[in-house]
Amino acid sequence: MLFNSLDFGIFLPIVFSIYWIISSLGIRSQNIFLLGASYFFYGMWDVRFLILIFLSSTIDYIAGIKLETTDAPSKRKLYLFLSLSFNLGMLGIFKYYNFFLENFERTFSFFGLNLHGPHLNIILPVGISFYTFQTLSYTIDVYRKKISSTHDWIAFFSYVAFFPQLVAGPIERARHLIPQFTQKRSFNHQFAIDGLKQIIWGLFKKIVVANLCNNYVNDIFERHAQYSSITLALGAFYFGVQIYCDFSGYSDIAIGTAQLFGFKFMSNFEYPYFSRNISEFWRRWHISLTSWFRDYLYIPLGGSRTTQLKKIRNVWIIFLVSGFWHGANWTFVTWGALNAIYFLPLMLLSRNNAYSDTVSESKTLPNIQEFFQMLLTFSLVTFSWIFFRSENMGKAFSYISKLFSFNFKLDYLGIERYNFEAIPIILLFFVLEWSARLKRHPLQDSKFSLIKTVVIVLLIILLGSFIENSEFIYFQF
């Protein structure tokens, strides 16, 4: 069930109404109902997926209790190991097994050994990377004694499966979200109205901007050999806009939906394309995943409080793992490596924490230096997206070599549009984002908030692309 589908348009009001009607019955009833609704939501993709999420929840729930009730380090390690093995094992089988097998086969065939292992004909359960990381945060935090285990299985299962963030995040930490399932939730109309506005803004990003860019991106990447450098540069630019609007649009809808039910999620994107260097970009992009890797991988490895050599090693690990998390393809690993290359000079020059504020906080427009810093950061990120978008390394290199052929002809695309036709809408989008960069989202309370919301709804209706294939990009991860 997609957030931008009619099914969800029916599902959400029904679940919302029943949820608040039964609030008088107590928090447990609300949690049971949310759990049922979330399983229904997830089961709409494929009922078999429910088995996995149920097993993952059960194992982590039991592991949490066991970890708390024993003090013996060896036993605690065993419980942690069992939980990690199951979760990462499932992720490995469903997401990475065939990839590793193919690469082993290729490596052996390079040495003249033709080995063929059993390939699995399985589909990747939607959202497995997200909810696996979410449950892992719980087990690890209980192991580290940062949180107590929960004995309310309904609350825990609801935390794992909560439908707004189940399939593509934000990856919520147990210490932040589980307490919200155990506290009484009362309806706060301002909080809910703000949530509704954030949903509308997320839909605008997805249906208007991302879907529009999708038409151009698909054609330009698919037929890149026929197009000029300027068209390929635009193709990469469009994909940069598409992936941001697609993924942050999803996050906005998830955060807004959670607010309708009285939950507060962490922010997942904070205007990353207005970053002045790569380090700032990574503090503002997919925050829930970046901070997950920081807390559960980078810091345990020593983080930045270690020798220079180990710091470099840690940066490489974090970016490569982050790339690999996105998918079993060398293109994602290369994308991660490229970002590590961008990041390392900043770290070595101690410039990685240079910008902790928002750009041009007290001004309407950026100064020349800020503008060019943002442009450079955006260009570097956009270049790395070429690997992220390409189906394989061969196509990525082919795209890049054509991009640098310095042919500046303006092409007429295979979608009956000139290559610059999406620019006015993208410019409008960036102007709206820029003007709201100090807020959580552009429709957040302001003097003309209602009028702005009406205009955005009308723009969705008028400018939205409704008939194209519009699944969210991050569902595949």
Q: Residues in contact with other proteins, total (CB under 8 A)?
A: 22
Closer Cβ to other proteins, 20 or 434, answer by number: 20
We find the least distance from the C-beta atom of residue 392 to other proteins, in angstroms, to be 23
193 binds other proteins (CB under 8 A): yes
Beta partners for residue 412, in sequence order:
418
**Among the listed residues 464, 472, 473, 474, the single contact to other proteins using CB under 8 A:** 464
Closer Cβ to other proteins, 192 or 321, answer by number: 192
We find the least distance from the C-beta atom of residue 461 to other proteins, in angstroms, to be 5
Identify the CA nearest to 201 among candidates 271, 289, 107.
271
End-to-end CA distance of the chain: 16
Q: Which stretch binds other proteins (CB under 8 A): 75-83, 234-242, 345-353, 451-459?
A: 451-459
Catalytic position from the list 224, 286, 326, 441:
326
Non-local (6+) Cβ contacts of 6 within 8 A are none
**Among the listed residues 18, 196, 380, 393, the single contact to other proteins using CB under 8 A:** 196
Q: Which stretch binds other proteins (CB under 8 A): 80-88, 297-305, 323-331, 409-417?
A: 409-417
51 binds other proteins (CB under 8 A): no
**Among the listed residues 93, 115, 354, 458, the single contact to other proteins using CB under 8 A:** 458
Q: For 440, list phi and psi in degrees, rounded to 5.
A: -75, -35
Identify the CA nearest to 295 among candidates 303, 305, 306, 307.
303
d(CA 296, CA 321): 12
| Site residues (CB under 8 A) for other proteins, limited to 421-450 | 421, 450
20 binds other proteins (CB under 8 A): yes
Q: Are 253 and 206 in contact (CB under 8 A)?
A: yes
d(CA 154, CA 32): 6
d(CA 100, CA 235): 31
Query: 366: cis peptide before it, omega within 30°?
Result: no
**Among the listed residues 85, 179, 454, 471, the single contact to other proteins using CB under 8 A:** 454
- Is 326 annotated in the active site? yes
User: How do the residues of the chain divide into helix, strand and coil, expressed in percent and rounded to 5?
Assistant: 70, 0, 30
d(CA 223, CA 196): 39
- What is the DSSP secondary structure assignment for residue 207, as one 8-state letter? I
Beta partners for residue 418, in sequence order:
412
Q: Which stretch binds other proteins (CB under 8 A): 50-58, 264-272, 431-439, 456-464?
A: 456-464
Site map (CB under 8 A) of other proteins, residues 63-102, x = contact:
----------------------------------------
Token couple for 244: 């941001």
Site map (CB under 8 A) of other proteins, residues 283-322, x = contact:
----------------------------------------
Token couple for 327: 């998918």
Q: Are 373 and 379 in contact (CB under 8 A)?
A: no
Say how many C-beta atoms besides its own lie within 10 A of residue 411's C-beta: 18
Q: Which helix (H) or strand (E) segment is 284 a member of?
A: helix 278-284
Closer Cβ to other proteins, 52 or 193, answer by number: 193
We find the least distance from the C-beta atom of residue 129 to other proteins, in angstroms, to be 33
We find the least distance from the C-beta atom of residue 311 to other proteins, in angstroms, to be 49
We find the least distance from the C-beta atom of residue 226 to other proteins, in angstroms, to be 11
CA 469 to chain centre: 19
Site map (CB under 8 A) of other proteins, residues 161-190, x = contact:
--------------------------x-x-
**Among the listed residues 70, 466, 471, 476, the single contact to other proteins using CB under 8 A:** 466
**Among the listed residues 84, 266, 341, 463, the single contact to other proteins using CB under 8 A:** 463
d(CA 43, CA 140): 28
Radius of gyration of the chain (CA): 23
We find the least distance from the C-beta atom of residue 442 to other proteins, in angstroms, to be 16
Q: For 395, list phi and psi in degrees, rounded to 5.
A: -70, -35
Q: For 329, list phi and psi in degrees, rounded to 5.
A: -155, 140
Binding site for other proteins (CB under 8 A): 20, 187, 189, 192-193, 196, 412, 414, 417, 421, 450, 453-454, 457-458, 461-467
Catalytic residues: 326
